[in-house]
């Protein structure tokens, strides 16, 4: 039961990481332009949204790393 819980956490966090990385705006804008990110840097709050997106991405990446390491130690 313990192992399957961490497998589920890892799958959910992997899908979340893919989604969050695609939301980041790169050189070309990315998928975040489709959700209103194309207003430009002059728009109020756009930097706050990017900062919060960075924080959420780091948190999900840490959950993914923790789940991966736990599964590695558990399945050895």
DSSP output for 49-62:
HHHHHHHHHHHHHH
Distance from C-alpha of 71 to C-alpha of 51, rounded to nearest angstrom: 30
Distance from C-alpha of 66 to C-alpha of 14, rounded to nearest angstrom: 12
**3-class SS at 52?**
helix
Mean per-residue pLDDT, 25-39: 61
How many Cβ atoms are within 10 Å of 57's Cβ, its own excluded? 17
Q: What pTM was estimated for this model as a whole? A: 0.73
Mean per-residue pLDDT, 3-15: 95
Mean per-residue pLDDT, 23-43: 62
Residue 5 has pLDDT above 60, yes or no: yes
Do 17 and 71 form a contact (C-beta atoms < 8 A)?
A: no
Q: How confident is the model at residue 62 (pLDDT cuts 50, 70, 90)?
A: very high
- The pLDDT of residue 38 is 56
């Amino acid at each position: 039961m313990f192992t399957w819980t961490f497998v589920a956490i890892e799958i959910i966090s992997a899908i979340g990481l893919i989604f969050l990385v695609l939301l980041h705006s790169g050189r070309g804008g990315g998928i975040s332009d489709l959700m209103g990110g194309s207003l430009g840097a002059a728009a109020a709050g756009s930097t706050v949204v990017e900062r919060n997106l960075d924080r959420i991405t780091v948190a999900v990446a840490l959950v993914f790393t923790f789940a991966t390491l736990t599964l590695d130690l558990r399945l050895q």
